[in-house]
Amino acid sequence: MATLLQRPGKTPGYEIRFYTADGRRHSIYLGGRRYNKKTAQGLKDVVESLVFHRDNSLPIQDKRIIVWIESASQEIQKKLVKAGLIEIPQSHTVTELWDEFLVQKANEVKKSTMAHYFNAKNRFLLFFKEDESLSDITKERMQRWKDYLLVHEKLAKATVANSINDAKAAFNWAVSSGWIEKNPLDGVSRGSFVNKKNAQLIPMDANFRMLDACPCQDWRVILALTRIGGLRCPNEVLALRWENVNWELDRFFVRSSKTEHHDGKEGR
């Protein structure tokens, strides 16, 4: 049983007293004029039900009680938590997600990938607030974030696609860590990674002119390997050694740090 008392004095309000199975008395205070008798009576009924279910180790199945708690203010929810009557899952913020995600990935991915993650975080915080709860991030808001980057920030579609891809990785980590149940980016199209506006065919005579303009042989080799050979620069170019060259077959083996973590993709 719980008892509702009205507190007089300079700070009027209500007090709900209840006893637990071990005989200990507890109190929940509702101070200030913003709490009326109807709210106090509703909380008293909820407290009685919660005490009964807890003392008898019974699950709460009354939907009215569940709805009342879920619709209650955070202040009242915190009072029920403090009284030991309910448990509210810890809510993590946007900043906590990105910070923890980046810490976890620091020893797993390359510096270039980490740079992409940091850029995605910065673009994410252009739209979302740092202290926003992850539970408030919905699929609809993620779609609005994508539109914001395209329209307001005027970022290229490929840049936005990369940002969404990296953010999805962060939220997938949050799901696997039990911070959220579902990734809010599921179903949000990231778009194309290819920026067709910048695509153009470079004729060989243009490559030859660039080779002629190089200041030394080193730069001519780098340019030939990238523009003509198709190597990634700088990682694949700088990793190339003489032992990678097969003079008999007139070809060379390129180690690819970008894909080496996939089976059979350590090079080409």
pLDDT number for residue 108: 87
Domains 2-82 and 94-196 alike in fold: no
Interacting residues of 91 by C-beta distance below 8 A, sequence separation 6+: 133, 134, 135
pLDDT number for residue 145: 97
In the predicted structure, residue 190 carries a pLDDT above the cut 70: yes
Q: Is the preceding peptide bond at 234 cis, omega within 30 degrees of 0?
A: yes
What mean pLDDT, rounded, does the chain reach? 88
Class in CATH terms, 2-82: alpha beta
Q: Kindly report the length of the chain.
A: 268
Q: What angle do CA 39, 69, 61 make, to 5 degrees?
A: 125
Token pair, residue 201, equals 């065919």
Class in CATH terms, 94-196: mainly alpha
Give how far the C-alpha of residue 15 lies from the chain's centroid of Cα atoms, to the nearest Å.
Answer: 41
- 3-state SS record for the chain: CEEEEEECCCCCEEEEEEECCCCCEEEEEEECCCCCHHHHHHHHHHHHHHHHHHHCCCCCCCHHHHHHHHHCCHHHHHHHHHCCCCCCCCCCEHHHHHHHHHHHHCCCCCHHHHHHHHHHHHHHCCCCCCCCEHHHCCHHHHHHHHHHHHHHCCCCHHHHHHHHHHHHHHHHHHHHCCCCCCCCCCCCCCCCCCCHHHCCCCCHHHHHHHHHHCCCHHHHHHHHHHHHCCCCCCHHHHHCCHHHEECCCCEECCECCCCCCCCCCCEC
Q: Residue 29 and residue 6: Cα distance in Å, rounded? A: 10
Structure confidence by residue, pLDDT tens digits, 53-111: 888 888 888 888 888 887 888 788 888 988 888 887 667 899 999 999 999 999 888 88
In the predicted structure, residue 261 carries a pLDDT above the cut 80: no
Q: Which residue has the higher pLDDT, 72 or 145?
A: 145
pTM of the model: 0.56
The domain locations on the chain are 2-82, 94-196, 198-252
pLDDT number for residue 239: 86
Question: How far from 183 is each of 171, 179, 203, CA to CA, in Å?
Answer: 6, 10, 45
Q: Residue 234 and residue 231: Cα distance in Å, rounded? A: 9
pLDDT number for residue 10: 63
pLDDT number for residue 30: 87
Q: Quick count: other Cβ atoms within 10 Å of Cβ 255?
A: 15
Q: Give the CA radius of gyration of the chain.
A: 30
Angle between helices 111-124 and 157-176 (to 10 degrees): 90
